[in-house]
Amino acid sequence: MSDAREGAVPHLSAEEFRRLGHRMVDWIADYWARLESFPVRAAVAPGEVMAKLPAHPPEEGLGGDAGWEAIFKDLEDVVLPGLTHWQSPSFFAYFPANASGPAVLGELLSAGLGVQGMLWSTSPAATEMETRVLDWLAELTGLPASFRSDSGTGGGVIQGTASEATLVAMVAARERVRRKLGREAELVAYTSTQAHSSVLKAAMLCGVVRGVSDDVHLRQLGTDGAYALRPEVLERAIREDLAVGRQPFFVCASLGTTSSGAMDPVHALAGVLERTGVTAAGGWLHVDAAWAGSALVCPEHRGMLEGLEAVDSFAFNPHKWLLTNFDCNAFYTRERKALLEALSVMPEYLRNAATASGAVIDYRDWQVPLGRRFRALKLWFVLRHYGAKGLRAYIREHVRLAERFTSWVEADERFELATPRSLALVCFRLRPAPGEEPPATDARNRQLLERLNASGKAFLTHTVLPGVDGAPARYVLRMAIGAPRTEERHVRAVWEQLAALAQGA
């Protein structure tokens, strides 16, 4: 038979990789240095980027590093024009998505090592570093000792996102309640109308709800004037469900809701679960602090932790506001056993002596996927580079800038705060004109936001907050401060632009 091989595979040599690696790091550093020269929001039409890309894959590869000139050219001509620049100092949309030099270097190292950390035995360093770093983070944020690995019953793990953390918590809750009851039951989960949509998605994936409109098995409950979940409303809903034979099994509380940064009263909600017997039946209280959790590195913000010793799991995203690039969610539980009972599957090909000994953690049993990257490296680099003092200074500066922005809004009679400032999030809008109907006020605010974003000088997003005490809902602008390179001059510039645009609004 003839040899059908097509020649050597064109891997990069060590020297080629070194030269290209240096060049790519230089390109990223230059990109960060010129962030302010780009329009913050991508200014392309749908399909415009795809039109610049060949319809078919290349038959011939690039060869050595000389052939990579085409890739670096495409980065400038194809990729950059189609980016919304999340690291821009004038990015104030959604919530921040931090990246920093130490985190990027940690991500590079993780990719270069290419290890698979699904089991302790597949890379002991990946597992044990993650355990230690999550314990560090628990200490830095003032979490109860029961969430640390050395508690013997709890511990932390890196999930991809807060959405994954909510799903893992809900799966664990479902299994724990089933075991406690010793039978199947019609399960009900609870959260507020202001909670993240990931709670609904988790309930769909768990099979708890029958679709997005199922308000029987996921009850999204009304909030108070500060948009926080009302304990008395939760208690009433739970008792209603118990009375008709349904079983409450999961409550998701929010610390820092997406729309307005509202803080649910965790201590009071835990009391509701205790009084109604939900806790005794195995019910689970999860706290989603995806954005606001990073502020816990500052002791002055730890009031939001009241009652946390009674919750079953807590999660926040260092990739939002703690200088660690996506993806990195810190998920903690007081009862790791519940995760193992719900998520552990042991095929023969994964059996090994270390796991059988019970002396190690296999993080594959704490998450939905089997495989996992060495994400602890980037968090380790960030914590070591900045230290607790550096991280506190970072958060405090953003909070100070939000206080400044708030003061400018309050001093301008054309604007009003929609809610009190929450950490570094300010929700505000143009006031209603005398005699103006709510739809017209909303339209003026929508037009103001569209004109600001179209300028390319800054990027904000909006939300719609429900009315309180029968008042109509309101279209509201959100100023979320948290990009790594944001300074007071950037915050002042966006305020001055808003003030100028408001002249004709």
In this predicted model, which residue has the larger pLDDT, 392 or 358?
392
For residue 233, what pLDDT is reported? Answer: 97
Hey, what's the torsion of the CAs at 363, 382, 400, 475, to 10 degrees?
Answer: -50
The reported pLDDT for the residue numbered 401 is 98
Q: Do residues 425 and 260 touch, judged by C-beta distance below 8 A?
A: yes
In three-state secondary structure terms, 91 is strand
In the DSSP assignment, the letter for residue 461 is E
The helix (run of H) or strand (run of E) holding residue 417 is: strand 415-417
d(CA 437, CA 449): 19
φ/ψ of 31, rounded to 5, equals -60, -45
Lowest mean pLDDT among 294-308, 359-373, 385-399, 404-418: 359-373
Does residue 251 contact residue 236 with C-beta atoms inside 8 Å?
no
- Tell me the per-residue pLDDT of 140-155, one tens digit each, with 9 for 90 and over: 999 999 999 999 899 9
Angstrom distances, CA of residue 439 to CA of 185, 203, 246, 476, 477: 45, 34, 40, 12, 15
Cβ atoms of 99 and 108 within 8 Å: the answer is no
Structural domain contains residue 396: no
Domain boundary among 317, 349, 383: 383
Same domain, 191 and 233: yes
Mean model confidence pLDDT for the chain: 93
What percentage of residues in the chain have a pLDDT greater than 90?
84
Per-residue confidence band for 2, with pLDDT thresholds at 50, 70 and 90: very low
Q: Are 330 and 293 in contact, with CB atoms under 8 Å apart?
A: yes
Mean pLDDT calculated for residue range 75-103: 96
- Any idea what the CATH number is for the domain that residue 65 is in? 1.20.1340.10
Give the list of residues 6+ apart from residue 376 with CB closer than 8 angstroms, or none.
126, 129, 130, 133, 134, 158
Same domain, 69 and 118: no
Task: Kindly tell me if the per-residue pLDDT of 63 is higher than 90.
Answer: no
CATH code of the domain containing 112: 3.40.640.10
Reported pTM = 0.93
For residue 403, is it within any domain? no
Distances 359 to 128, 152, 157, 282 between C-alpha atoms, Å = 12, 11, 17, 27
Angle, vertex CA 81, rays to CA 75 and CA 85, nearest 5 = 95
Per the listing, tokens 């009679």 go with 413
What's the rounded mean pLDDT across residues 255-273? 96
Count of all residues that appear for the chain in the document: 505
What is the pLDDT averaged over residues 287-297? 97
On whether residue 459 sits in a domain, the answer given is no
H helix count then E strand count, the chain: 15, 11
H-run or E-run covering 125: helix 124-140
Tokens coding 460:
């904000």
Higher-confidence position of 505 and 421: 421
Choose among 321, 340, 343: nearest CA to 330.
321
Has residue 491 been placed in a domain? no
pLDDT above 70 as % of the chain: 98
Q: Are strands 187-192 and 247-254 parallel, antiparallel or unpaired?
A: parallel
CB 142 within 8 A of CB 388: no
Which helix or strand (DSSP H or E) is residue 331 part of? strand 329-333
Kindly state whether residues 144 and 206 are assigned to the same domain: yes
Question: If you average pLDDT over residues 157-169, what whole number do you get?
Answer: 95
Same structural domain, 119 and 227:
yes
Return d(Cα 182, Cα 229) in angstroms, integer.
31
Choosing from 349, 383, 417, the residue where a domain stops is 383
User: Binning pLDDT at 50, 70 and 90, where does residue 10 land?
Assistant: confident
Question: What are the helix (H) ranges across 276-365?
Answer: 318-321, 336-343, 353-357
> Does the pLDDT of residue 3 top 70, yes or no?
no
Do residue 143 and residue 254 come from a single domain?
yes
In a domain, 67, yes or no: yes
Same-domain pairing of 42 and 148: no
Max Cα distance, the chain (Å)? 89
Q: Looking at the structure, do residues 27 and 164 belong to the same domain, yes or no?
A: no
My answer on whether 153 and 284 are in the same domain is yes
242 located within any domain: yes
DSSP 8-state class, residue 462: E
How large is the average pLDDT for residues 356-381?
A: 90
146/93 Cα distance (integer angstroms):
35
Is 82 in the same domain as 160?
Answer: no
* Mean pLDDT of the 97-118 span: 95
Q: What is the mean predicted confidence (pLDDT) over 122-136?
A: 94
Residue 428 domain-assigned? no
Question: Is 283 inside a domain boundary?
Answer: yes
Statement to judge: residues 127 and 176 lie in one domain:
yes
Cβ atoms of residues 296 and 388 within 8 Å? no
Interatomic CA distance for residues 280 and 292, integer angstroms: 30
Q: Backbone phi, then psi, for 53, in 5-degree steps?
A: -105, 140
Q: Are residues 128 and 248 in the same domain?
A: yes
Total domains in the fold of the chain:
2
Are 22 and 123 part of one and the same domain?
Answer: no
Q: What is the pLDDT of residue 5?
A: 56
Asked whether residue 1 carries a pLDDT value surpassing 60, the answer given is no
At residue 207 the predicted structure's pLDDT band, cuts being 50, 70 and 90, is very high
Indicate the pLDDT class of residue 265, thresholds 50, 70 and 90: very high
> Which range marks the domain in which residue 47 is found?
15-86
The encoded tokens of residue 132 equal 């230690």
Confidence of residue 131 (pLDDT cuts 50, 70, 90): very high
| pLDDT of 469 higher than 80 | no
